[in-house]
Structure 1
Amino acid sequence: MPHPATAIQGTGGAIAPHLRRLLEFVEPDRDDVCLDVSRGHGPMPAALGPQVRHLTAVDAMPAPADPAPGTSRRMATVEFGTGPVRITDGDSPPPTTRSGHATRGAATTREDPRPRTLDPDRPTIKADATALPYRDNTFSLVTARFSLYNLGDPDHVLRELLRVCRPGGRVIIADLVRGNLAAPDRDRIERLRDPDHPGTPSIARLTEMITSAGGSIRRLDVFTVERPVEPWLAGACDDVTAERIRTALVDEVDGGPKTGAKPRIIGGELWFTQSWAHVAAEPIP
């Protein structure tokens, strides 16, 4: 049975253990020139920035409609100086839309609720993740956390992340997955909650996508995460749907049909399980 763990102090404030796990997997270096691509403002830039030489944060917009013939969707190049984890709802993955210790196992944490802010001298760039405004081989470290399926076609996004990464650099993808032997029925409640949910890839599918995009897999960390149900259900399309999901999960706890979410009662609250993966890839020259 996993036991709760408190957030631990790190550079720039308290960092929850599941984010610390990702930072240890990333293995940031003081000489790294880093690009973080996300939808909205995630915690990675604030946590990673103090540990690298330079960090650029991209708040990626959904891919626009196809450009007119003869025009490029890529924005002008941006110039810059080169100077089961158990979580509460403080840092859950964003809703999906169409538009160092790599150990396996479960862990637990209570998320630090305090907001983290970026250095005001490090502005966030608005850009299309399928057409990043950077030259080839610009960054030694590229990160995308819970963003791959929110930023446009994931194959195009992966190609862009690998394109802007230097030879010998690394691209770190952190996202939801399902086990290779897990039934795709696990996505039934995800699609019930969000009809536009694109489906959770298997671990094999995620790594296959990365290699097909031109990356070589270097390291992999797969682990289970337990989350409280109610904050997650707050993102359901309506209250009736949320109640249907809640009922299905409670029924499973009581011995009813399995949903694949492995729900259980913790401290009087209903929790469920997801699988997360950290993948480190290197662009193939």
Structure 2
Amino acid sequence: MPHPATAIQESGGAIAPHLRRLLEFVEPRPGDVCLDVARGHGPMPAALRPRVRHVTAVEALPASSEGRGNRMATVTFGTGPVRIADGDPPPTPAPVERPTIAGGPDGTRVRADAAALPYRDNAFSLVTARFSLYNLGDPQDVLRELLRVCAPAGRLVIADLVRGNLAGPDRDRIERLRDPDHPGTPSIARLTEMVTSAGGSIRRLDVFTVERPVEPWLDGARDGAAADRIREALTAEVDGGPRTGAKPRIIGGELWFTQSWAHVAAEPIP
């Protein structure tokens, strides 16, 4: 059963519980040379930096990004109320050798096409993409590129929204009300299939449910009318109306809803 999660204090400040879970899944190592690819400014580079040797952040925009309007640049959450289910810690993978990379000082931020990264093959021991895969162009092309720059014994970690393998696509209706450009939520099987088709071998998988308050999420709605329609649909479901797939409920007088998230760890197939 999901429960209220609290921020965990680190030497660099407070880390939100969902980001802490991802960091535990990633298992960053002091020798890692890391690449984080995100649409806009994501939180991963700052979270990884104290734990690894070097981090490069790519602020990626797909080549076809023109005309996408005021779509949110990245998925952002504060350290506030996100309810997250407990889970067993992932097993520790085998150590990897340190690759070398030519680049600028730690904290480098680069603008680049996610499907044509300006790095040589096998340049990074750890590559991450958090809630960005479907916003950066064709996800299959992006995955191939992320695997290309990942060292043979390295790790690619993808964090994204998913739906259960038996769940229908109805849940995407309110996602598209909020963001007409929403590409659709992949099933767990589809996400892992794309990774393997791109040349990756799945090593670990973490799928879990979170509950989130509706209002911060609706701050990213395309317009106020769309936000009102979503509120009405979710409130109607709480009152016994048609199901939206979001499993809304009232917590502390506020409207909350449910999402499924997945963390996928893979390595390139030689």
Shorter-normalised TM range: 0.7 to 0.9
Q: Which residue of 1 aligns with 2:217?
A: 232
Output aligned runs, 1:174-189, within 5 Å. 174-189=159-174
| Secondary structure, counterpart of 1:174 in structure 2 | strand
The answer on whether the counterparts of 1:11 and 1:47 sit within 8 Å (CA) in structure 2 is: no
The 2-side partners of 1:137 and 1:121 are apart by 19
Instruction: Please show how residues 36-55 of structure 1 align to structure 2 within 5 Å.
Output: 36-55=36-55
Aligned residue runs from structure 1 range 64-213, under 5 A: 64=64, 89-90=77-78, 101-102=89-90, 122-213=107-198
Q: CA deviation at 1:89?
A: 4.1
Mapped pair 1:276 → 2:261: yes
- Contact 2:2–2:210 (8 Å) recurs in 1: no
Shift in Å, 1:150: 1.0
Cα distance in structure 1, aligned partners of 2:250 and 2:227: 17
Q: Which runs of 4+ in 1 moved over 3 A?
A: none
CA pair 161-193 structure 1, distance change in 2 beyond 3 A: same
Alignment coverage as a number of residue pairs: 240
For 1:14, give the aligned amino acid. A
- Structure 2 contact 150–268 (Cα < 8 Å) conserved: yes
Give the Cα–Cα distance (whole angstroms) in 2 for the partners of residues 207 and 3 of structure 1.
Answer: 27
Residue-by-residue CA offset, 1:151-192 (whole Å, 9 max, x unaligned)? 111111100000000101110000000011111111111112
Structure 1: gaps spanning 5 or more residues: 66-87, 93-99, 104-119
Q: What corresponds to 2:24 in structure 1? A: 24
List runs of 5+ in structure 2 lacking aligned partners: 66-75, 81-87, 92-104
SS in 1 for 2:78: helix
Deviation track 1:97-134 (CA, whole Å, cap 9, x = no partner) reads: xxx8249xxxxxxxxxxxxxxxx852211111010000
Q: Give me the TM-score of the superposition, normalised by structure 2.
A: 0.85
- The equivalent residue for 2:8 is 8
SS in 1 for 2:233: helix
State the Cα deviation string for residues 222-276 of structure 1 (Å, max 9, x = none): 0011111112122222222211111110010011110000000011000000000
Q: Secondary structure at the match of 1:149?
A: helix
Worse overlay, 194-203 or 7-16: 7-16
Whether contact under 8 Å (2:233, 2:244) holds in the other structure is yes
- What do residues 48-86 of structure 1 show as CA deviations (whole Å, max 9, x unaligned)? 111111111111122258xxxxxxxxxxxxxxxxxxxxx
Shift in alpha-carbon separation, 1:213–1:91, aligned structure 2, 3 A = farther
2:98 equivalent in structure 1: none
Structure 1 residues 47 and 89: CA distance shift in structure 2, 3 A: closer
Cα distance in 2 for residues equivalent to 1:187 and 1:41: 25
- 2:14/2:79 contact within 8 Å kept: no
1:6 Cα deviation after fit? 1.9
Question: How big is each residue's C-alpha offset from its partner over 1:7-48, in whole Å with a ceiling of 9 and x where there is no partner?
Answer: 111242111111111111001111111101111111110111
For 1:186 and 1:20, locate their aligned partners in 2 and report how far apart those are by CA, in whole Å: 27
